[in-house]
Each structure stands twice: as C-alpha cells, then as structure tokens.
Amino acid sequence: MTDIFVHKREVYGLEVDDLIRKIGDLCSRRELDEWWEGEIGWSHDRELALGKARARYDVLLKRAQEGGVGDTEIMWPKRPCAEKG
C-alpha cells in the first residue's frame, strides 16, 4: 500500500490503484489495513485486486451516500475536499 499511497507508484494498474486510493479516501487507515490484509494481502493478481477493490469501493460509497461515518481514525494524507455550503 505504501507504493500506491505514498510513492504513487503503479502496482496493479491505473484503474485498480485509483480504486484503492478512493477506498482510502472513504475509510480509516485501520479499516483499509484490515480490508487489505483480509482481501488482497500479498497477492500480485491484478484481476483479484480489481474485483475486490470494486466491491469494497461500492460498499464504502453506499455507506458514504447514506451518511454513515464508519471508522473515523485518520489515515493517509487526504486530497482536499470542497467545503459544504
């Protein structure tokens, strides 16, 4: 994950890496770590990572749209968000 989040290196391909970054924006580091360890681990399988990332992103996006906060522990540096008016 360090290569994806900190060094911005391509690991699984642009689509998968972007999804993983979006997942990181929607959850805490702890939640991300738990998902990563349980679903991706040390796998280098791009298709596995893509399927798991799509599924997790959909769950987190739905939670965010429903106003769920989930785990609020701070994680990787986030992209700036627009203030709500």
Q: Which of 33, 24, 36 is nearest to 60 (CA)?
A: 24
- Residue 29 contacts residue 67 (beta carbons within 8 Å): no
Q: Which of 39, 65, 61, 41 is nearest to 52 (CA)?
A: 39
* Cβ neighbour number for residue 36 with a 10 Å cutoff: 20
Q: What pLDDT is recorded for position 67?
A: 84
Helix, strand or coil for residue 74? coil
Tens of pLDDT along 38-52? 999 989 999 999 999
Q: Across the 85 residues of the chain, what is the mean pLDDT of every consecutive 10-residue run?
A: 93 96 96 95 94 97 81 46 41
Handedness of CA 28, 32, 38, 39 (dihedral sign): positive
Q: What pLDDT is recorded for position 85?
A: 40
